[in-house]
Amino acid sequence: MTKKILVLPGDGIGQEIMAEAVKVLEKLRANHGLDVEFEWGLVGGAAYDKYGTPLPEETLTRAKAADAILLGAVGAPKYESLDISVRPEKGLLGLRAELKLFSNLRPAIMYPQLVHASTLKPEVVSGLDIMIVRELTGGIYFGKPRGIRTLETGEREGFNTLVYSESEIQRIGRSAFDIAMKRNKRVCSVDKANVLECTELWREVMIEVAKDYPEVKLSHMYVDNAAMQLVRAPKQFDVIVTTNMFGDILSDEASMLTGSIGMLPSASLDAKGKGMYEPIHGSAPDIAGKNIANPLATLLSVAMMLRYSLNAPSLASRIERAVNAVLDQGLRTADIYSEGTKTVSTSEMGDAVTAALAA
């Protein structure tokens, strides 16, 4: 049966990178038997401009009906003065919450061709293959109470709440352990259990969950140490499982190990494996519209979509092989350029990957 993909380009470079994703999917549809149809929708600033809300009802309805969602990026400086409740980021957070996409997978893989694009020494990063499992619908991002209030003294006070229930911790723990079973069977749970009660519970629950996975080795690390270890010796990690905010921060950090934030895809899954797929980078307003953004994180997100939501693992591998092939050809967008390679535009990179799909 034809699978329905909702395409949400969003803002900034979202438009450009999503065009490349669709190019690749269309090629797979034309030549490799992929049975999909596209629907388009607005989210983020683009939706705010038209409807006065970053997540219109129509987008949400389509997202619920779709088999998978492909998202570009949201946000732009012109929206920063808006009330936080209607900022572009709320569109993305609303989709994650409404669709219950609690499990966010962010693989950081070092392509051997890009070892010299990383700011870290080749011996530190070559062969790197980490999976960050970020809790995505709870924690301080969504905790209540939250807000900015004025105290009796007239001074203002900002406040947010870090809260996790046992069941929320259990389900993200299971996601991480299930993935570890298909990898190197090591899970490092990252918390701040020395200071925050909420993550003290996080640690206790992870230890409980681990009992169902006797083959997996569980370790724990405080987030400050984890941030340090990621740049000191990143290859010690297999699967990292962590809270919403720590995962946000550590995944940006991990992306730079691989040379560029333009290389990291992500999958956000619900309990049934339905998902939304997006590069982990933002809308990059500084380079939007210039046709220089790296589309590879998005194309690798398409591969994750084919694997996790559309039951087409061989087509997912086909995209990953094609990405490898264009890197072998020495083609690079500006963010991953290193001496001796050739700089190409966003669309040229997309064309090259599309052409390499045939191989």
Q: List residues bridging with 159 in a β-sheet.
A: 147
What are the structure tokens assigned to 48, written together? 């705010």
Q: Which stretch binds ligand IPM (CB under 6 A): 58-66, 88-96, 196-204, 312-320?
A: 88-96
* Shortest reach from residue 249's CB to Mg ion, in Å: 8
Contacting ligand IPM (CB under 6 A), which of 89, 129, 200, 348?
89
> What is the pattern of x (binds ligand IPM, CB under 6 A) and - over residues 282-321?
x---------------------------------------
Element (DSSP H or E) covering residue 336:
none
Residue 78 annotated as catalytic: no
The active-site residue, picked from 48, 111, 141, 277, is 141
The active-site residue, picked from 27, 90, 192, 274, is 192
Q: Characterize the bridge pairing of strands 156-159 and 147-150.
A: antiparallel
* Shortest reach from residue 296's CB to Mg ion, in Å: 17
C-alpha 167/C-alpha 173 separation (Å) is 10
The active-site residue, picked from 67, 248, 277, 308, is 248
Q: Which residue is nearest to ligand IPM (CB)?
A: 89
Amino acid in position 111? Y
Q: Give start and end residues of each alpha helix (H) in the chain.
A: 14-31, 45-51, 57-65, 88-98, 122-125, 166-181, 197-210, 223-232, 244-257, 296-308, 313-328, 346-356
The residue ranges that bind Mg ion (CB under 5 A) are 248
* Shortest reach from residue 202's CB to ligand IPM, in Å: 18
Contacting ligand IPM (CB under 6 A), which of 280, 306, 315, 353?
280
C-alpha 134/C-alpha 241 separation (Å) is 6
Residue 224 annotated as catalytic: yes
C-alpha 259/C-alpha 158 separation (Å) is 36
What are the structure tokens assigned to 350, written together? 């997309």
Residue 308 annotated as catalytic: no
Amino acid in position 215? E
Q: Which stretch binds ligand IPM (CB under 6 A): 86-94, 118-126, 172-180, 319-327?
A: 86-94
Residue 141 annotated as catalytic: yes
> Which of 186, 301, 191 shows the shortest CA–CA distance to 235?
186
Tell me if 11 contacts ligand IPM by CB under 6 A.
no
Closer residue to ligand IPM, CB minimum distance, 72 or 213: 72
- For the sheet with 275-277, list strands across it: 36-40, 3-10, 68-73, 275-277, 267-269, 103-109, 129-135, 239-242, 186-191, 217-222
**Which positions from 204 through 263 interact with ligand IPM, judged by CB under 6 A?**
248
Please identify every residue annotated as catalytic: 141, 192, 224, 248, 252
Query: Interface with ligand IPM by CB under 6 A: which residues?
Result: 74-75, 89, 92-93, 248, 280, 282
